[in-house]
Structure 1
Amino acid sequence: MKNEPIGKLISYIHRQNQKELNKHFTPYGIGSGGQYSFLKAVLATPGVNQDQLTQQLNFDKATTARSLKHLESEGYIERKPDPNDRRSLLVYPTSKAEQFQPTLQRILDDTNKVMLSHLNKEEEDQIISLLQKIRQGLHEE
């Protein structure tokens, strides 16, 4: 097997994974741009503010705003002014989001299983460990 640049391999895997996720999330009104990541984060931390989401998920402010606007229009989240800082908005999941949470997690789990299906447990642990090591190295720069 020819050695390909790691960036090219990671990019390919990411694109294929995004296609698969989009196929599963589109019927629920959740689109691309990591909207599912925002929804998962809001479900995990109700009342989080937009700036915290931007930092936590490592997206830019414009992507955060667009994704939250879309999720709000689809009825998954609601934004309320922060009582301690009226310039800041706090983001909460709606009952629709809470009901969707098991489906969201199932889709993410199933997609991960497909990606790892050709690996044994040792290889799976190894690739996860190596990718975490690469990510950590990028955050140190």
Structure 2
Amino acid sequence: MPNKHDTPEALSKFTGSLVRRAQQRHVAVWLSEVSAEITSVQYAALEILQKTPGINQRQLGDELDVDRSTIADLTARLVRNGLVERSDDPGDKRSYVLFLTAAGKKQLAALRPRVEEVERILTARLTPRQSAELKRLLSALLA
């Protein structure tokens, strides 16, 4: 028999539980609206590379707030899928610089409206002011 402290109402007093549940909802909406092949982190990488072509893997990892092995795997997957081109960094031979391929730019353009739809769905019950406040609070939590 479930303990009364295990109910969603009891767990909702814990920030971690709410964040986890919000993330689960985000993943479910992402899968239904955007893609089962491109994750939200991969999409974010494509957006960053669109805005700052030629950054290196370390810089991309810093922007995404992921560790070195994660960014190496993520980059390898994007390269393997033909979305990103990786070449030696002329300033540091131990590093790679990254650029979107034509296919990466096309994929990004196709996904962007779907990602905006995820945003709309996730914040549908919030006023624009509440949505801005949620983003502000989450950013403060992560700072």
What's the TM-score, normalizing by structure 2? 0.83
In structure 2, the partner of 1:16 is 25
Partner of 2:63: 56
Q: Contact 2:41/2:64 (CA < 8 Å) preserved in 1?
A: no
Q: How far apart are 1:84 and its partner, in Å?
A: 1.8
What residue is the counterpart of 2:85 in the other structure? 78
* Structure 2 SS opposite 1:86: strand
The more displaced of 116-125 and 16-25 is: 16-25
**Bigger mean CA deviation after superposition, 79-88 or 118-127:** 118-127
After superposition, the CA RMSD in angstroms is 1.8
Q: Which runs of 5+ in 1 are unaligned?
A: 137-141
The alpha-carbon deviation at position 121 of structure 1 amounts to 2.0
Q: Letter of the aligned partner of 1:75 in structure 2?
A: G
- Percent identity at matched positions? 23
Q: Which runs of 5+ in 2 are unaligned?
A: 1-8
Deviations 1:3-56 (A, max 9, x none): 421111011111221232234222xx42x4722222221122110100111111
The number of residue pairs the alignment matches comes to: 133
Task: Tell me the distance in 2 between the aligned counterparts of 1:38 and 1:25.
Answer: 15
* Aligned-partner Cα distance in 2 for 1:72–1:94: 9
Deviating above 6 A after TM superposition, structure 1's stretches of 4 or more consecutive aligned residues are none
Higher-Rg structure is: 2
Matched letter for residue 48 of structure 2: A
CA distance in 2, matches of 1:65, 1:22: 24
Q: 2:135 aligns with which of 109, 128, 137?
A: 128
TM-score (norm 1): 0.84
Q: CA deviation at 1:131?
A: 2.0
Conserved 8 A contact 1:43-1:97: no
User: Would you say the 8 A contact 1:41–1:53 is kept in 2?
Assistant: yes
Q: Which residue of 2 aligns with 1:42?
A: 49
Give the conservation status (yes or no) of the 8 Å contact 2:30–2:40.
Answer: no
Aligned partner of 2:4 in structure 1 is: none
What is the CA deviation profile of residues 82-119 of structure 1, one whole-angstrom value per residue up to 9, with x for unaligned ones? 11221110011000111222222212211011010011
